[in-house]
Amino acid sequence: MCGIAGFTHYSRSTDEGVLRRMTASLHHRGPDQQGVYYAPQIGLGAVRLQVIDLDGGEQPIRTDDGVFTIVYNGEIYNFAEVRTELEGLGHKFRSACDTEVALRAFVQWDTACFRRFRGMFALAIWDARQQRLVLCRDRLGIKPLYLRQDGSDIIFGSELKALLAHPRTTRVLDPVALEDFLSLNYVPAPRTLIAGIEKLPAGHFLEWRGGRHSVTPYWKLEFRPDSRITEEDAAAELDELLRSAVKEQLVSDVPLGIWASGGIDSSTLIHYAAELGARPLKTFSIAFESKSCDESPWFRQIARLYGTEHYEFELNRGSDVRSAIEDFAFYADEPGADAGALPVWFLSKMTREHVTVALSGEGGDELFAGYMTYRADELARRMRLIPRAALQLGLAGAHSLLAVSDEKIGFEYKVKRFLEGSLLSADEAHLYWNGAFSYAQKKALLGTVGLPVGRLYGGLQATSEIGRVNRHLQLDQNFYLQDNLLAKVDRMSMAHSLEVRPPLLDHRLVEFAARLPMKLKMDGARQKIVLRKTMQGKLPDAILNRKKSGLDIPAHEWFRGPLLPLLRDTVTSAALQRMPMFQAGAVERLIHDHESRRRNNGYQLWGLLTLFLWMKKWDIEAPHPADLTATSSTHDAGPPRQAFASAG
């Protein structure tokens, strides 16, 4: 695992020292080796975490004739297969690493090589003969790649901090992205919270030559449900796909482990790793003193069942959470409104003390309809048949009668959130249930309302074609998974120089799930049906039948206790003066209503805390008031023009 950075300097020369500073900013992603390539039109830098071929593979790697140079972040799991094919075509290799395989595959097949790779990666290749730069990102966006247009040139890096090390990068908050952040908990690609900096879309490559660039997709997931697929056939195919994906991702020249939550996704990985003979099998988990967050009975059961060498860390009120949260401002790139980042931070820290690589179960819920929001979508469809006035009356009653709870997601919280979403359209409700601030809260904070429905749903397949739940699955795979969950895991793990691999996001598995009829994913209260069928007889019934949980902190409780001082120290009057788009009174009401137990605003307060810490750390400027005024009337006026828009 590595980090990459670089720039073209076709129109304006940039000093090599800038390249070295950009590269050095990514040291945590690759502490084992650092290198740069600097030429009249290009600068490429890389830091390396040694995982495959420990003695070889130092970056950048160049071909013998000096024409092609690569910097690379990630893993190509089928690199041995691709290498064998290239050797048959006459290519000679100097190393045993997948980076050189990626380079020589590009020499042989040009951009067509990307479709041959199975893995997670972001790379940059310079063709000196054609004076051409190619950037590429993996199909699911597991590995990050940020871009900024600098006149005729391009600046890029694995993390925002690499671009911020370039002297011509400005640091102004994007007002549209801020609305997205407050609405969704994350900023959907291609935007970032910094105006002018974007993310290369997943499954795309960019070509730059002579001051001009184009962005082209090489993979796009389409849902094609096939009603002829039976449960038995689907389970048999899924069994083979899971075994193959786990087998490929167990390949490592350094110690490897598995993150265990006690849920079906991570337990599935442990089962196949054990079946494939992985020894010693090490597992890592986070326990909580708060019962609403703790999953220790289940992950301890799995550890005992498979005889793993098990490690766990208890995250509680006495843990050093304040310093960890303050570190987020540096490592998280963009603030994360997902409070699950905190346990992932401590999980990564503990895991790295024992191994360099970990497998994780991200993706199972987005592929096989595991979230309660998918069931809520179906229930809300019937609720909308009730007169709106009656729903509003029910919501008012819930607010007055249901006591506020300290549980992670208590009964009262779910009821209120569900009823609020039932007053919205289906598309809006799905975004709202996964998001943070209510319409009323966001309007009080910024004076604007609405969700980016048009910008997110506009490029998806129609409900009439694939069904409502599949449409929401497609949205979550395109945005929530990539820009929230995967980004969180990447930054928290790489902050500790730990590589995390998600086998369930092997693109063959993703394409398989997109072919399944809905009856094999969700049917009433039954969810992840085909995965449970596949693992029946392999995993204990207690694991197969347990309710969906999730790695998260007791945010509501902690913002009435250990996190409240940090929140007040951070969201001060001085900080609010730097952020004139926020109404100070509305911010104070959020804190007061939560502290006095009028409402559970823990997740909203987490988002504000991380946002303000991040802006202070990176000296981010507030947008001009005129930009805010324009945003308030056009926040969902369709897809905005982006500097790195796709060509296809």
**DSSP letters for 78-120:** THHHHHHHHHHTT---S-SSHHHHHHHHHHHHGGGGGGG--EE
Q: Which helix (H) or strand (E) holds 573?
A: helix 573-578
Look at residues 145, 169, 193 and tell me which one is the last residue of a structural domain.
169
- The pLDDT of residue 292 is 65
CATH code, domain carrying 290: 3.40.50.620
3-state secondary structure of 329: helix
Query: Would you tell me how many other CB atoms lie within 10 Å of the CB of residue 236?
Result: 13
Mean pLDDT of 495-511: 97
DSSP assignments along 451-518, one per residue = --HHHHHTTSPPHHHH-HHHHHHHHIIIIIIIIIIIHHHHHHHHTTT-EEE-GGG-HHHHHHHHHS-G
pLDDT tens per residue, range 256-306: 999 999 999 999 999 999 999 988 899 999 998 766 677 888 899 999 999
DSSP state of 4: E
Quote the pLDDT of residue 405: 66
Asked whether residue 313 carries a pLDDT value surpassing 70, the answer given is yes
Confidence check: pLDDT of 639 > 50: no
In-domain check, residue 394 = no
263/242 Cα distance (integer angstroms): 16
- Kindly state whether residue 295 falls inside one of the protein's structural domains: yes
The answer to whether position 183 is within a domain reads: no
**Residue 204 near residue 646 (C-beta atoms within 8 A):** yes
Do 199 and 190 contact (CB within 8 A), yes or no? yes
Strand order in the sheet with 357-359: 309-315, 282-288, 256-259, 357-359, 499-501
Residue 457 lies in a domain: no
34 lies in the same domain as 144: yes
Query: Is residue 501 assigned to a domain?
Result: no
Do residues 122 and 239 both lie within one domain? no
- Give pLDDT tens digits for 12-67: 889 999 999 999 999 999 999 999 999 999 999 999 998 886 777 889 999 999 99
Contact 450, 473 (CB under 8 A): no
Residue 3 pLDDT exceeds 60: yes
Query: What kind and span of H or E run contains 395?
Result: helix 388-401
446 and 179 in contact (C-beta within 8 Å)? yes
> Could you identify the residue written with the tokens 């054990």?
274
Identify the bridge partners of residue 267 per DSSP, sorted by sequence position: none
pLDDT at residue 430 above 70? yes
- The count of other CB atoms within 10 Å of the CB of residue 245 is 24
Considering the domain boundaries, does residue 149 fall inside one?
A: yes
Cβ atoms 468, 380 nearer than 8 A: no
User: How many structural domains comprise the chain?
Assistant: 2
What's residue 642's pLDDT?
67
The answer to whether 328 and 296 are in contact (CB under 8 A) is no
- With a pLDDT cut of 70, the percent of the chain lying above it is 93
Whole-angstrom distance, CA of residue 5 vs CA of residue 13: 16
User: What's the Cα-to-Cα distance from 369 to each of 22, 472, 553, rounded to whole Å?
Assistant: 40, 9, 23
Residue 240 inside a domain? The answer is yes
Question: Binning pLDDT at 50, 70 and 90, where does residue 453 land?
Answer: confident
Q: Which of 1, 65, 22, 251 is nearest to 157 (CA)?
A: 22
Task: Using alpha carbons, select from 375, 364, 372 the residue that is nearest to residue 481.
Answer: 364
Whether the CB-CB separation of 328 and 613 falls below 8 Å is answered with yes
Q: Say yes or no: 160 and 250 in one domain.
A: no
The tens digit of pLDDT for each residue in 364-421 reads 999 999 998 999 988 888 888 888 888 888 878 776 766 666 665 667 777 878 888 8
Rounded to the nearest 10°, the torsion over CA 204, 209, 214, 215 is 10
CA atoms of 438 and 422, how far apart (whole Å):
13
pLDDT at 233: 98
* Same domain membership, residue 235 and residue 158: no
Distance CA 259, CA 310 (A): 10
Name the nearest CA neighbour of 74 among 114, 42, 25: 114
Radius of gyration of the chain (CA): 24
Residues 161 and 248 placed together within one structural domain of the fold: no
**How far is it, in rounded angstroms, from Cα 63 to Cα 75?**
20
Full-model pTM: 0.94
What is the DSSP-derived secondary structure letter of residue 147?
E
Same domain, 17 and 154: yes
Hey, which bits of 572-637 come out as E strands? none
pLDDT at 56: 78
Catalogue the long-range contacts made by 511-516 (C-beta closer than 8 Å, 24 or more residues apart).
511/221, 512/237, 512/238, 512/241, 513/367, 513/368, 514/221, 514/222, 514/223, 514/224, 514/225, 515/224, 515/225, 515/226, 515/229, 516/225, 516/226, 516/229, 516/234
CATH code, 93:
3.60.20.10
Coil, strand or helix at 70: strand
Domain boundary among 544, 570, 595: 544
State the pLDDT at residue 633.
Answer: 44
- Which pLDDT belongs to residue 638? 45
The mean pLDDT value of the chain amounts to: 90
Q: Are residues 17 and 155 in the same domain?
A: yes
- C-alpha distances (whole Å) from 556 to each of 186, 317, 343 are 20, 13, 15
Give 179's contacts (C-beta < 8 A, 6+ positions apart).
442, 446, 448, 450, 452, 631, 635
pLDDT of 235: 98
For residue 205, is it within any domain? no
| Gap between the terminal Cα atoms of the chain | 30
DSSP 551: S
Check pLDDT > 70 for residue 631.
Answer: no
Angstrom distance (rounded) from CA 73 to CA 157 = 10
pLDDT in tens, 326-376: 998 899 888 887 888 999 999 999 999 999 999 999 999 999 999 989 999
CA distance 600 to 584: 19
Cα–Cα distance measured from residue 568 to residue 399, given in angstroms and rounded to the nearest whole number: 26
Neighbours of 243 (CB within 10 A): 15
From residue 66, give the alpha-carbon distance in Å to each of 60, 107, 126, 127. Answer: 11, 12, 10, 9
Residues 15 and 128 in one domain: yes
Instruction: Assess whether 17 and 100 both reside in one domain.
Output: yes
* Residue that is last in its domain, among 169, 191, 220: 169
Give the best-scoring range by mean pLDDT among 403-412, 600-609, 632-641.
Answer: 600-609
**Which pLDDT does position 637 carry in this prediction?**
44
Query: For 75, how many CA atoms within 13 A lie in the half-sphere containing its CB?
Result: 25
What's the rounded mean pLDDT across residues 140-150? 97
Range of 304's domain?
Answer: 231-361+507-544
CA 427 to chain CA centroid, nearest Å: 21
Residues 235 and 164 in one domain: no
Same domain, 161 and 240: no
